[in-house]
Amino acid sequence: MSENLNMFYAAQKQIKDACDKLKCDPGVYEILKQPARVLEVSFPVKMDDGSIKIFTGYRSQHNDALGPAKGGLRFSPTLTLDETKALSMWMTFKGAIVGLPYGGGKGGVACDPKKLSPREKEAVTRGYIRAIAPIIGPMQDIPAPDVATNAEIMGWVMDEYSKIKGYNSFAVVTGKPLILGGSQGRTQATALGCCFVIREAAKKLGISLKGARIAIQGWGNAGNNLATILHEMGAKIIAVSDLNGGLYSEQGLDVATIVKVDGSLMQKTDAGLIEYPGATKISNGDLLAIDCDVLIPAAVENQITGDNAGKIRAKILAEAANGPTTPEGNEILKTMDVFVLPDILASAGGVTVSYFEWVQNLQSYYWTKEEVNQRLEQKMVAAFENVYNFSKEYSVDMRSAAYMVGIKQLADAMKARGWLS
The burial of 118, by beta-carbon neighbours within 10 Å (0-12 exposed, 13-18 middle, 19 or more buried), is given as: exposed
> Is the model more confident about 176 or about 337?
176
**DSSP H or E run through 202:** helix 189-205
CA angle 359, 362, 366 (to 5 degrees): 65
pLDDT of 259 reads 63
pLDDT band at 404 (very low <50, low <70, confident <90, very high): very high
Distance CA 250, CA 237 (A): 9
pLDDT, residue 269, reads 44
Average pLDDT, the chain: 92
Which of 184-198, 213-227, 368-382 has the least mean pLDDT? 213-227
Domains and CATH numbers, the chain: 35-180 (3.40.50.10860), 189-346 (3.40.50.720)
* 334/317 Cα distance (integer angstroms): 12
| pLDDT at residue 105 is higher than 50 | yes
pLDDT for the residue 270: 42
Per DSSP, the residues of 122-136 read HHHHHHHHHHHGGG-
Identify the pLDDT of residue 271. Answer: 41
> In which band, very low, low, confident or very high, does the pLDDT at 10 lie, cut at 50, 70 and 90?
confident
pLDDT (tens digit, 9 = 90+) per residue, 46-97?
Answer: 999 999 999 999 999 999 999 999 999 999 999 999 999 999 999 999 999 9
Task: Answer yes or no: is pLDDT of 200 > 60.
Answer: yes
Instruction: Give the pLDDT confidence score for residue 133 in this predicted structure.
Output: 98
The whole-number average pLDDT for the span 242-253 is 87
List C-alpha distances in Å: 394 to 21, 146, 391, 400, 413: 8, 34, 6, 9, 22
Distance, CA of 237 to CA of 244 (rounded, Å): 19
- Residue 274's pLDDT is 57
pLDDT for the residue numbered 262: 46
* Helix or strand (DSSP H, E) at 52: strand 52-63
**Mean pLDDT, residues 199-222:** 94
Q: Where are the beta strands (DSSP E) in 190-256?
A: 213-217, 236-242, 245-248
Supply the pLDDT for residue 366. Answer: 97
List beta partners, residue 108.
58, 74
Contacts of 346 (CB under 8 A, 6+ apart): 193, 194, 197, 198, 318, 319, 320
- 349 pLDDT band, cuts 50/70/90, is very high
Find the range with the poorest average confidence among 71-85, 216-230, 345-359.
Answer: 216-230
What pLDDT score was predicted for residue 2?
62
pLDDT in tens, 274-316: 567 778 888 888 999 999 999 999 988 888 999 999 999 999 9
Confidence of residue 260 (pLDDT cuts 50, 70, 90): low
Whether residue 408 is predicted with pLDDT greater than 60 in this model: the reply is yes
Q: Give the pLDDT score at 275.
A: 61
The residues annotated with a catalytic role in the active site are: 106
Question: In angstroms, rounded to a whole number, what is the distance separating the alpha carbons of residues 387 and 345?
Answer: 9
Rounded mean pLDDT of 354-361? 98
pLDDT (mean) for 400-406: 96
pTM of the full structure: 0.92
Q: What is the mean pLDDT of residues 343-363?
A: 97
- What is the reported pLDDT for 296? 97
CA–CA distance, 139 with 318 (Å, rounded to integer):
32
